[in-house]
Structure 1
Amino acid sequence: MHAVRLHAFGPAENLRYEEVENPLPGPGQVRIAVEAAGVHLLDTALREGEQGPLPEPPRLPTIPGREVAGVVESLGEGVARLWLGRRVTAHLGFAPGGYAELAVTDVDRVHEIPGNLDSAQAVAMIGTGRTAMGILQFAELGPAAVAVIPAAAGGIGTLLVQYAKHAGAVVVALAGGPEKTARVQANGADLAVDYKDPAWPDKVRAYLGGRPATVVFDGVGGEIAREAVALLGPGGRHIVFGWSAEGIRGGGPYLVDGVSERVLGPVMMQKAGGPNPVRTLELRALAEAAAGRLTPAVQRFPLTEAAAAHRALETRRTIGKVVLEP
């Protein structure tokens, strides 16, 4: 098969498209003919040798990527034959291997893809959608809510806008540049504002006419977060799930005592509860997409252009979930 491998930590150019041996499914595993592989900002940090949330940095050479979708084409020992030929998606967990034509994973990680989703959309929901469902556990959205969503053109932001609108909330969406704000407006936001304009908070206040924001969904941090939190009224909530403005390796979130709540991975999982909270959130995400309430935005790159996909992510030139297609 062909895959993208990393032989040395460093820049995106270190990602090489090459021929490697086919992986073999072990007991309880399936092999998927990959039609789409998710690319995450975390992948760019791991590529440079960072550990991130993993137990240790990747061992080289490695095939990056932890989200895939495609067709089950081979079964390991003990796996029911009913899986053979099914369209599925899976998050590979800490195991890499997604940037490839074939990927192996435990059958317990696999979900059948709803018929109304293509493989790229399914990949977006199994990773980004799962995270969005985790974040939304911490906010009560309805007609009384005014939600401010920075980075609204991103994968998570796109889904948060859709969910909030479906719940009847007023949605104020922030994005960088006219192309992204236009996309956000088309996605259903009541107001789409370019956060590169220093006057954006005044534009939001003018639009709301004195009505305060009730929740800020913040994955950005920095000055944008500070300005967004200032829009909150009494009892408003600042839901923090990242701080991309500070870079994935440094800085930290903007936090205000009594207002901000950090809802990173372990907190999301605890809130979801149950014997397998990760799977619970994945099922919720896929169900929302199957029902048509959530439609992920996807930016597609050929598998051969994995390096270009990484560079686009690092320079914030992407819209929605970035996906590689063999």
Structure 2
Amino acid sequence: MHAIRLHAFGPAENLRYEQVPDPVPGPGEVRIAVAASGVHLLDTVLRAGLPGPTAARAELPTIPGREVAGTVEALGQGVDEGWLGRRVVAHLGNVPGGYAEFAVTATSRLHDVPETLDEAAAVAMIGTGRTTLGIVQFADLGRGDIALVPASAGGIGTLLVQYAKNAGAIVVGLAGGPAKTERTAANGADLAVDYTARDWPERLAVFLGGSRATVLFDSVGGDLARTLAGFLDRNGKHLVFGRSSEGPAGAPSAPRPAPAAPAPGGIASQAVLGPVMLDRAGGIRVLENRALAEAAEGRLRPAVRRVALADAAVAHRLLETRATIGKVVLVTG
């Protein structure tokens, strides 16, 4: 099979498109003919040789990637033959191997791909979608809420805008540049703000007209989050799940350590990734099921940027330069 392999830590150009032996499914595992594999900002961090917030430093050589969708085409010992030929999606956990034409994983990680979804959309929902559904548990959104969503054209931001609108909230999405703000508006945001414009705080203040936001979905941290926190009600919710603006482009969007520190102005912050999210949901598989169901019913529509498997280095550079809209997915064939 063809796969993307990393032999040395470093820049995106170190990702090589190579021919390697097909993986063999072990007991309780299946082999998936991969149609789509997810690319995460964490992948770029691990490629550079750094430990991620949820993953150890990779052992080389390695095939990156932890989200795959495709068709089951081989079974390991003890696996029900009913899996053969089914379209499935899986998050591989901390075992890499997704950037490839074939991948193996345990049947306990498999989900059927709903008929209404293609494999790229399913991949977006199994990772980015489940995280989004975990985050919104802490918001309790409804009519009367005003939600602020920075990075609103990203994979999670796109889904947060849609979810908040579906819940009846007024939604302000903030993104960098005209293309991203146009996409934010198309997703249903009541106001799409270009935070690279110098007067964006004035635009937001005029829109709010003296009202205060009730929820800030914070994946960016830094000056942008500090400014947005000034628009929050004193009883508002500052939900933290990243800090991408606090380092160079490509820095990991890592969770803040718990317990959460107060936000600027004394507003209470809450870090919502990790065990606290899973405990509230009842487990990671619950979130995966919810995410796939929301997409299957058309309530959430992931934005997907498709890149050929052989061009994985291009996908990494797009992420590191923040040149993407939605979820980046590698596709085969």
- Return the TM-score normalized by structure 1: 0.96
Asked if 2 retains the 8 angstrom alpha-carbon contact of 1:88 and 1:110, the reply is yes
Asked if 1 retains the 8 angstrom alpha-carbon contact of 2:149 and 2:160, the reply is yes
1:46-92 deviation digits (Å, cap 9, x = unpaired): 00111114563111000000000000111111111111111110000
Any stretches of 5+ residues in structure 2 without a counterpart? none
Instruction: Give the Cα separation in 1 of the matches to 2:56 and 2:192.
Output: 40
Match of 2:296 in 1: 290
The runs of at least 4 consecutive aligned structure 1 residues that moved more than 2 Å come to: 53-56, 247-255
Instruction: Give the Cα separation in 1 of the matches to 2:204 and 2:135.
Output: 23
Instruction: Give the Cα separation in 1 of the matches to 2:5 and 2:61.
Output: 6
Shift of 1:249: 5.6
The root-mean-square deviation of aligned C-alpha atoms, in Å, is 1.4
Q: Look up the equivalent residue of 1:146 and give its one-letter code.
A: I
Deviates more, 1:16-25 or 1:208-217: 208-217
Instruction: Give the Cα separation in 1 of the matches to 2:21 and 2:85.
Output: 22
Instruction: Give the Cα separation in 2 of the matches to 1:206 and 1:105.
Output: 52
Instruction: Give the Cα separation in 2 of the matches to 1:310 and 1:56.
Output: 19
SS for the counterpart of 1:163 is: helix
SS for the counterpart of 2:220 is: coil
* Match status 1:87 vs 2:87: yes
Q: Look up the equivalent residue of 2:316 and give its one-letter code.
A: H
Asked if 1 retains the 8 angstrom alpha-carbon contact of 2:244 and 2:254, the reply is no
Match of 1:270 in 2: 279
Asked if 2 retains the 8 angstrom alpha-carbon contact of 1:246 and 1:252, the reply is no
SS for the counterpart of 1:64 is: coil
Match of 1:13 in 2: 13
Asked if 1 retains the 8 angstrom alpha-carbon contact of 2:32 and 2:103, the reply is yes
Shift of 1:234: 2.4
Asked if 1 retains the 8 angstrom alpha-carbon contact of 2:243 and 2:253, the reply is no
Map 1:90-105 to 2 at 5 A: 90-105=90-105
Paired residues, number: 323
Tell me the percent identity: 64
Q: Look up the equivalent residue of 2:161 and give its one-letter code.
A: V
1:186-244 deviation digits (Å, cap 9, x = unpaired): 11100000011122121111012111100000101111100111111121110000001
Q: Look up the equivalent residue of 1:223 and give its one-letter code.
A: D
Match of 1:119 in 2: 119
Q: Look up the equivalent residue of 1:302 and give its one-letter code.
A: A
Q: Look up the equivalent residue of 1:308 and give its one-letter code.
A: V
Asked if 1 retains the 8 angstrom alpha-carbon contact of 2:130 and 2:287, the reply is yes
Asked if 1 retains the 8 angstrom alpha-carbon contact of 2:238 and 2:267, the reply is no
Deviates more, 1:230-239 or 1:94-103: 230-239
Any stretches of 5+ residues in structure 1 without a counterpart? none
**CA shift in 2, pair 1:243/1:55, >3 Å:** closer
